[in-house]
Amino acid sequence: MRSDNILTMFLGNKKRHSRDIDPDEIFLDSSNLPQFDTHQFEGRLEQPIPKLSLALLWGFFVLVIVLFSIRLGNLEIARGESFARIAENNRLERVPIFAERGALFDRNGTPLAWNEPLLGEEFAARVYNKMRGLAHVLGYVTYPARDTKGMYYKESFSGMDGVERAYNDVLGGTNGTLLIETDAQGGERSTHRESLAENGENLVLSIDARIEEALYTRIENLARDVGFTGGAGVLMDIDTGDIIALVSYPEYDAGVLANGTPHDVETLLADPRTPLLNRAISGVYTPGSIVKPFLALAALQEQLISPDEKILSTGSIAIPHPYLVGEESVFLDWKAHGWVSMREALAVSSNVYFYEIGGGLPQGGGNEERVGLGIGKIKSYMNLLGFEKRTGVDLFGEEIGVIPDPAWKEKIFHDVWRLGDTYNTSIGQYGFQVTPLQAARAVAAIANGGTLPIPRIVTRIFSDDETNIGGKVLPPKRTQLPIDSLHYAVVREGMRLGVLEGTAQGLNIPVVEVAAKTGTAQVGTVKKIVHSWVTGFFPYEHPRYSFAIVMERGPSDNLIGALYVLRGLLEWMAVETPEYLK
């Protein structure tokens, strides 16, 4: 073959090959694979994206955009104000403007609690009168407090006891707010008062601080000299319920509780004499014979006995023994008084007389049957006179005491009530417990002829632009008792006779005529510890004030008790505050 033909043939073949399909460009599909499964990826090098996948992908992107938009809107719109406040607070500091706490005054205008500037602080210190006996009446406060960064986490005073607690909202006022603008470095740029402080209101108390201190001192001295662990006393206006003195011994130091060291506070809390207890309203004591005037009143109202009918006291009363057939249970009088009427029984404090009018006397053994009040009516009349109830005094922590009855005995001792339980309750023993304030209040009803006053400490509220003789006067409150007024006169006469020739002769003093009832309550099973009581009122002819004093847990062989506290107080009052004895 010629060379040019060979060349032409070669070139022509080359040209034709360039137009043919390259093997690398071949795509495998069902046309060249007869067994190809069109529903699988086998045999494929590429596959187009399905429409559903594209739709899901686009949906995902749209969802992300929508969620982002919602979040952005929430940050910018819904919470924009909140973030703005945060930013503003980084620039503006709010500082409290402390309100002045209201001051306290006694009935004569003597300052009892006030405020003085406190070095290095934006609030004032609370200062209390140093006269003795005021702690439980006034109470104490805790102060505003800051954290380690100097920010206040507690912006107000808090009353923690006494009047400070009971009238905390009235005394506290309302703090104001000072806005301080700062720069990026924390420097102060300007200040602005956002709101003004409203000072608290001032209070006038019914207390006479002079008598309060005199009563406290006499209770303290007797407790130390004789061995009583504590004591309490109340002197009250029988018509208004104004409390002239309310004393609890021992008392506490308000300064220790407000800002004392931990050691000082621990020492106070560990004191076995419990100085934090307000014994006048929270201390409950076995009353002993001071309940006898109230029992006499109930018996007269129920017409169980006339004032002049006499009962024989041979020194004891005997009834059939509840367990031993043929044996007797004997209940003692403190001495044989002979035949005594109601007035005489009150004067000499005859137990037998009050056993019989309280529990009655079953027939037999030479006894003539007598119907007594029974525990149900005893409890009912004691409730009527305010026992086992709160008096309503404007202080926190008041206890109600106990008048024992069958339900109480079943709960405490899981035993049935017996006649002997009624006898013991009739002379203020067994489970009977009262507070000194309850006793003074009930005696007030006897003294005024049947009105039970609501005791009160605060009598007037006034602001800084008023005087302590103006402001809001709080009206007294009282309850009328459904007992014949003639019966009160009999009981008053019996209590006066007790001072003239009975158990309260120590109060037969020239400075004022007193009517009184003493009581000695045995404490515990061995009966070597006693509470010593005296209750009553003065002046006798025109009563103005009732009183109740208890000396707590003294030796039973001691002959000097609560009566001598009152005597010393009255003799002091005759010189220092004679206006109360007229």
CA distance 229 to 224: 8
Say yes or no: 388 and 528 in one domain. yes
Judge whether 12 lies within some domain: no
Residues sharing a CB contact under 8 Å with residue 293, sequence separation 6 or more, in sequence order: 346, 443, 446, 491, 494, 495, 517
The residue type at 495: M
| φ/ψ (deg, to 5) at 425 | -65, -35
Q: Is the residue at 213 inside a domain?
A: yes
- SS3 category, 172: helix
Last residue of a domain, one of 185, 205, 225: 205
Secondary element (H or E) of residue 553: strand 545-555
Going by the DSSP 8-state scheme, the letter that residue 290 receives in this structure is G
Cα gap 567→534, rounded to integer Å? 10
Q: Do residues 419 and 513 both lie within one domain? A: yes
Is 70 among the domain residues?
no
Beta-bridged to residue 370, according to DSSP, are: 361
Q: Domain range holding 166?
A: 93-205
Instruction: Give the per-residue pLDDT at 244.
Output: 99
Residue 445: predicted pLDDT: 98
Assign residue 188 the CATH number of its domain. Answer: 3.90.1310.10
- Asked if 28 and 47 count as a contact pair (C-beta separation under 8 A), the reply is no
Alpha carbon distance 200, 452 (integer Å): 32
Verify that 256 and 188 share a domain, yes or no: no
Per-position pLDDT tens, the chain of length 582: 444 544 444 444 444 444 455 544 444 444 444 554 545 444 444 556 666 766 777 777 777 787 777 776 665 665 666 655 655 555 677 788 889 999 999 999 999 999 998 887 788 899 999 999 999 999 999 988 888 887 888 888 899 999 999 999 999 998 888 887 776 656 666 676 678 889 999 999 999 999 999 999 999 999 999 999 999 999 999 999 999 999 999 999 988 888 888 899 899 999 999 999 999 999 999 999 999 999 999 999 999 999 999 999 999 999 888 788 878 899 999 999 999 999 999 999 999 999 999 999 986 555 678 999 999 999 999 999 999 999 999 999 999 999 999 999 999 999 999 999 999 999 999 999 999 999 999 999 999 999 999 999 999 999 987 766 667 889 999 999 999 999 999 999 999 999 999 999 999 999 999 999 999 998 876 668 999 999 999 999 999 999 999 999 999 888 899 999 999 999 999 999 999 999
d(CA 145, CA 31): 90
Cα 357 → chain centroid: 38
Residues 144 and 255 in one domain: no
**Number of domains making up the chain:** 2
Q: Which of 159, 186, 205 is the last residue of a domain?
A: 205
Concatenate the DSSP letters of all residues of 356-415 into one string: HHHH-B-SBTTBPPB---HHHHHHHHHHHTTTTS----SSS-----B---HHHHHHHHS-
Choosing from 176, 205, 234, the residue where a domain stops is: 205
Residue 255 and residue 404 in contact, taking contact as beta carbons nearer than 8 Å: no
Is cis: bond before 250, omega within 30 of 0? yes
Residues 98, 219 within the same domain: no
Helices (H), 125-199: 135-138, 162-166, 168-172
User: Is 10 inside any structural domain?
Assistant: no
For residues 485 and 498, state if they share a domain: yes
Tokens of 520: 């000695």
Identity at 538, one-letter amino acid code: F
DSSP, collapsed to helix, strand or coil, labels residue 44 as coil
pLDDT at 449: 97
**pTM: predicted TM-score of the whole model, two decimal places:** 0.82
